[in-house]
Amino acid sequence: MASIARQSSPLLRSAFRAPFATKNVAQVVAFHASARKQILPPLPQTIQGTMNDPAPIPKSHPTEGSYHWTFERLVSASLVPLCIAPFAAGSMSPVMDAVICSAIVVHSHIGFHASITDYFPTRRVPKTHTFMIWLLRAFTLSTAVGLYEFETNDVGVTEALRRVWNA
């Protein structure tokens, strides 16, 4: 484009230069050159051992690993038929509601626990990790109590969904 502007008339050259005028460029550069403000400073980076040491293998735990993964998948897969069965069968049973609510609470707890483990690792932020785990436990307990109260003192989850669907 610049070679075309040099060979063409002065009017065309000024049209090519207009978007890149000195005043506009100075404003854009000043905006981009402003200080970068981070929300939180990066955590200290440490290396245990030497650079050539292999990565440490964590100790095995019975509630983690393949059993934990299998349990997560079973709970997740069980939610599909559990959520369809009451509406397909046409029966709104308190036992079915209790099973659905229990599976939802367990599924949610496992998912949020995995998120906390990923985003707040113990080795980097141990106090925050502990606080978040206790906060998760409190929310899980309050959710379970709330769903229990809804099941025993109100119409229940499946009946409430049926009513909303037919409204």
Q: What are the binding residues for heme b?
A: 107
How many angstroms separate the first and last alpha carbons of the chain? 63
Q: Which residues are annotated as a binding site for a ubiquinone?
A: 119
Q: Which residues are annotated as a binding site?
A: 107, 119
Q: What is the DSSP secondary-structure string of 79-123?
A: HHHHHHHHHHH----HHHHHHHHHHHHHHHHHHHHHHHHHHS-TT
Give the closest residue to 12 by CA, choosing from 2, 25, 24, 23.
2
